Amino acid sequence: MFDLTLAGAAKALKAKEISAVELTSAYNEAVAALNPRLNAYITTTPELALEQAKAADARLADGSATPLTGIPIAMKDLFCTEGVRTTAGSAILEPFVPPYESTVSGKLKAAGAVMLGKANLDEFAMGSSNITSFYGAVENPWKRQGSEAKLVPGGSSGGSAAAVAARIAIAATGTDTGGSIRQPAAFTGLAGIKPTYGRCSRFGVVAFASSLDQPGPMARNVEDNALLLNAMAGFDAKDSTSADRAVPDFTASLTRGVKGLKIGIPKEYRLEGTNPEILALWDKGIEWLQAQGAEIVEISLPHTKYGLAVYYIVAPAEASSNLARYDGVRYGKRVDGADLIDLYERSRAEGFGAEVKRRIMIGTYVLSHGYYDAYYLKAQKVRNLILKDFTDAFGQVDAILTPTAPSAAFGLGEKMDDPVTMYLNDVFTVPASLAGVPAMSVPAGLSADGLPLGLQVIGKHFDEETVFAVSAAIENAAGFSALPEVRAK
């Protein structure tokens, strides 16, 4: 039962081979068994899930079901969920039970998806390894061959990734600001897409960096992503940056193939010092697409090398402002002080973790008088150049292929001493975030020590369909079927 994909489970539910209650109960049990070890969920909601499963069975019976009805999923704990504790991986929101529902989680709810719980994440989605969560690190269900060392699942959607990989959720929601869906998907052998900025509403999603944040799905394969995105996407009047444009049926593009498509290979991504395994996998991806009739074109994204620097100015700048509301005054954690300033300082000192504090300080600095022009303004200019790189490239090609991450999942405790080394994880994913274009990670192979590796497909603004088509072609060619050691069976 745990081997069913979302599409497979939907088919089984529709054919009444299995009921939503049976499926959810099995998953609830699997969560109860594995979550204490993996820590993929901060909050589990088994009763709520069962209730939703019952309602799903009613819909399956009366014919009002959607492909998501009765599908047990994990909800990244950055989405506000009405009546269910929401933490954003931080202590500062404790206690916070939103009296409202985020648009995306609401759409999934309306489609009949069953929520198993709220998935762990880096605090305020700031991290690439899920180690900054106040609720503890998440263990990657994958192991290096012959080693029991705990690996990180990537981040910030690490809980979502671990839950789906370990089969304690069929699929999950994530959010991606600089790679937070794609990198954990790559680290855990999943497919995950960061849609075009504006494709999914940010309303009710705890903000990290508003101009970059974008909700998206994570699942076992490309098709499941398409099914989820069909339900998650769409204009929302409550988010002024959401795009008022029609949402196509993304599943229709899965079988399009890549014949005749021009696929760009950015020469600048062959970074010096990149793991040869990653480069080899990339070459393999190029061959697969070529073999299926795509034309490979070398392209240039000259400003890519500034991507990380720009990202680590823009994202902290916005974060420093977005996180100002967590002040201990209206909700969440309050530590009383002698006066208002003291209350702020104590509440925020206790409520925020080290990485969040670091980014608030960086962000405050780059926006400060006298530094704004040199940092924030300059970064915005370079961001425009990066966007132009992509616009120019997409004048020549239909999609771009790159690796997702510079390495496979690393060990818990590795790369912890230097935040900059950690930031390098995002080197391939950040440019697409800055440009706002859609990008998907597809599992494409294993490293020498048996860990999953992903390739990234980047598309034009609002052309997720081509991204899905190319990703499906890679998926077919790669035939990735490896499974993690720790999983529900």
Partner 1 sequence: MAYTLEGSTGAWEVVVGLEVHAQVISQSKLFSGASATYGGAPNAHVSFIDAGFPGMLPVINKECVAQAVRTGLGLKAQINLFSRFDRKNYFYADLPQGYQISQFAHPIVGTGTVEIELQDGTIKHIGITRLHLEQDAGKSMHDQHPSKSVVDLNRAGVGLMEIVSEPDIRSPEEAGAYLRKIRQIVRYLGTCDGNMEEGSMRADVNVSVRKPGEAFRTRCEIKNVNSVRFVMHAVEAEALRQIEVWESGGEVVQETRLYDPAKGETRSMRSKEDAHDYRYFPEPDLLPLVLEQGWVDGLKAALPELPDEKRARFCAEYGIPFYDAGVLVADQATADFYETVAKGRDGKLAANWISGDFFAAMNRTGKSIENPPVSAADLGALLDLITDKTINGRIAKDVFEEMVETGKAPGAIVEEKGLRQVTDTGAIDAAVTKVLDENQDKVAEYKSGKDKLFGFFVGQVMKAMQGKGNPALVNEAVKKQLG
Contact between 2 and partner 1 by CB under 8 A: the answer reads: no
Nearer to partner 1, 25 or 210 (CB): 210
Return the sign of the alpha-carbon dihedral for residues 163, 418, 212, 352: positive
**Nearest distance, CB of residue 238 and partner 1, angstroms:** 6
Q: What is the DSSP letter of 482?
A: -
- The residue ranges of DSSP E strands in 419-451, in sequence order, are 439-446
Stretch that binds partner 1, among 30-38, 159-167, 316-324, 470-478 (CB under 8 A): 316-324
Pairing outcome for strands 452-459 and 72-76: unpaired
Query: Among 25, 274, 292, 364, which residue interacts with partner 1 (rule: CB under 8 A)?
Result: 364
**Nearest distance, CB of residue 337 and partner 1, angstroms:** 12
Query: Among 35, 40, 75, 96, which residue interacts with partner 1 (rule: CB under 8 A)?
Result: 96
Pairwise CA distance, residues 61 & 125, whole Å:
39
Query: Among 376, 390, 394, 410, which residue interacts with partner 1 (rule: CB under 8 A)?
Result: 376
CA angle 208, 210, 216 (to 5 degrees): 80
Stretch that binds partner 1, among 209-217, 403-411, 419-427, 458-466 (CB under 8 A): 209-217
For the record, the structure tokens of 134 come out as 């106040």
Stretch that binds partner 1, among 6-14, 45-53, 188-196, 337-345 (CB under 8 A): 337-345
Establish whether 156 is a catalytic residue: yes
Query: Among 33, 280, 291, 340, which residue interacts with partner 1 (rule: CB under 8 A)?
Result: 340
Pairwise CA distance, residues 182 & 168, whole Å:
19
State which of positions 70-89 bind partner 1 (CB under 8 A).
79-80, 86, 88
Burial of 94 (0-12, 13-18, 19+ CB in 10 A): middle
SS3 for 260?
coil
Query: Among 36, 63, 240, 273, which residue interacts with partner 1 (rule: CB under 8 A)?
Result: 240
Pairwise CA distance, residues 320 & 286, whole Å:
40
Buried/exposed code over 240-249 (b: 16+ C-beta within 10 A; e: otherwise)? eebbeeebbe
Contact between 381 and partner 1 by CB under 8 A: the answer reads: no
For the record, the structure tokens of 139 come out as 């263990």
Contact between 43 and partner 1 by CB under 8 A: the answer reads: no
Pairwise CA distance, residues 243 & 245, whole Å:
6
Establish whether 105 is a catalytic residue: no
Return the sign of the alpha-carbon dihedral for residues 422, 424, 425, 431: positive
Query: Among 108, 115, 116, 205, which residue interacts with partner 1 (rule: CB under 8 A)?
Result: 205
**Nearest distance, CB of residue 356 and partner 1, angstroms:** 14
Cis upstream peptide for 156 (omega within 30°):
yes
Catalytic residue among 19, 90, 128, 156: 156
Q: What is the DSSP letter of 151?
A: B
Residues touching partner 1, count (CB under 8 A):
44
Query: Among 5, 25, 292, 321, which residue interacts with partner 1 (rule: CB under 8 A)?
Result: 321
Catalytic residue among 129, 157, 180, 471: 180
Contact between 489 and partner 1 by CB under 8 A: the answer reads: no
DSSP 172-227: EEEEESSSTTHHHHHHHT-EEEE--TTSS--TTBPPS-TTT-EEEEEESSHHHHHH
Burial of 296 (0-12, 13-18, 19+ CB in 10 A): middle
Nearer to partner 1, 88 or 228 (CB): 88
Nearer to partner 1, 220 or 348 (CB): 348
Contact between 5 and partner 1 by CB under 8 A: the answer reads: no
Nearer to partner 1, 9 or 93 (CB): 93
Contact between 465 and partner 1 by CB under 8 A: the answer reads: no
Pairwise CA distance, residues 229 & 254, whole Å:
13
Pairing outcome for strands 214-219 and 72-76: unpaired
Pairwise CA distance, residues 288 & 260, whole Å:
14
Contact between 396 and partner 1 by CB under 8 A: the answer reads: no
**Nearest distance, CB of residue 325 and partner 1, angstroms:** 4
Contact between 255 and partner 1 by CB under 8 A: the answer reads: no
Pairwise CA distance, residues 121 & 160, whole Å:
8
Stretch that binds partner 1, among 24-32, 112-120, 199-207, 265-273 (CB under 8 A): 199-207
Contact between 125 and partner 1 by CB under 8 A: the answer reads: no
Nearer to partner 1, 28 or 242 (CB): 242
Nearer to partner 1, 81 or 402 (CB): 81
Contact between 235 and partner 1 by CB under 8 A: the answer reads: no
What number of CA atoms fall less than 13 Å from residue 347's CA on the CB side? 25
**Nearest distance, CB of residue 445 and partner 1, angstroms:** 37
Cis upstream peptide for 95 (omega within 30°):
yes
Establish whether 133 is a catalytic residue: no
Nearer to partner 1, 154 or 234 (CB): 234
Contact between 318 and partner 1 by CB under 8 A: the answer reads: yes
Q: Which residues are catalytic?
A: 76, 156, 180
Residues that bind partner 1 (CB under 8 A): 79-80, 86, 88, 93, 96, 98-100, 102, 202-207, 209-211, 237-241, 317-318, 320-321, 323-325, 327, 329-331, 340-341, 344, 364, 367-369, 372, 376
